């Protein structure tokens, strides 16, 4: 099991930005009209340490999910570590530099929370520091352990967010 290598945000973000525009320009015309493409992941959050990859989310209306899935599957490999559902699919484009992960999600579905997490990080430097600490502490666990630790952290942050919204409305 090899450790996950983490890199500084500035260099990784610059590399990600170089391919983000061309990637979006390639995908937009072939995806359904309801598709929204957003930069997510650590390179989208100033100061967040990263593996150096680019992560994007493609959000589509539910009726366009199968078509978007077909289009993305024709361009990239499926991420075997993520379960595919009728509202979520994950892809890896390893041939790009940096490697690119694409999360396809149906708008309004339970997993349509990528933008929420990204925006919470962008608004809270303390949360970014906690996320960075978690990543550094989990890097030695290898890819699977690192992903599991991040997943627990992200789930807790989103759960806390939902609970605070419920508290405000009650």
The domain of 44 spans: 9-162
8 Å CB contact between 65 and 104: yes
Per-residue model confidence (pLDDT) at position 94: 74
Q: What is the DSSP string of the chain?
A: -PPPP-B-HHHHHHHHHHHHHHHHHHHGGGS-TT-EEEEESGGGSTT--B-S-EEEEEEE-GGGHHHHHHHHHHHSEE-TTS---SSEEEEEETTSSS-EEEEEEETTSTT--HHHHHHHHHH-HHHHHHHHHHHHHHGGGHHHHHHHHHHHHHHHHHHHHHHHHHHHH-
Asked whether residue 3 is assigned to any structural domain, the reply reads no
Asked whether residue 81 is assigned to any structural domain, the reply reads yes
Instruction: Give residue-wise pLDDT tens across range 91-140.
Output: 998 777 888 999 999 999 999 999 999 999 999 999 999 999 999 999 99
CATH code where residue 138 lies: 3.30.460.10
Structural domain count, the chain: 1
Asked whether residue 34 is assigned to any structural domain, the reply reads yes
Asked whether residue 157 is assigned to any structural domain, the reply reads yes
Instruction: Give residue-wise pLDDT tens across range 53-77.
Output: 999 999 999 999 999 999 999 999 8
Asked whether residue 74 is assigned to any structural domain, the reply reads yes
pTM of the model as a whole: 0.92
Asked whether residue 1 is assigned to any structural domain, the reply reads no
Asked whether residue 58 is assigned to any structural domain, the reply reads yes
Asked whether residue 64 is assigned to any structural domain, the reply reads yes
């Amino acid at each position: 099991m090899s450790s996950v290598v983490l890199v500084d945000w500035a260099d990784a973000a610059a590399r990600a930005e170089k391919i983000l525009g061309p990637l979006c320009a390639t995908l937009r015309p072939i995806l359904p009209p309801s598709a929204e493409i957003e930069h997510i992941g650590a390179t989208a959050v100033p100061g967040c340490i990263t593996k150096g990859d680019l992560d994007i989310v493609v959000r589509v209306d539910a009726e366009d999910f199968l078509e978007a899935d077909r289009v993305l599957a024709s361009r990239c490999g499926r991420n075997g570590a993520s379960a595919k559902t009728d509202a979520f699919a994950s892809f890896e484009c390893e041939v790009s530099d940096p490697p690119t992960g694409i999360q396809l999600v149906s708008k309004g579905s339970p997993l349509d929370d990528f933008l929420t997490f990204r925006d919470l990080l962008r608004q809270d430097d303390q949360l970014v520091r906690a996320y960075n600490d978690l990543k550094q502490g989990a890097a030695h666990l290898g890819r699977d352990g690192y992903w599991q630790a991040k997943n627990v952290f992200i789930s807790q942050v989103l759960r806390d967010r939902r609970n605070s919204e419920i508290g405000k409305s009650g």
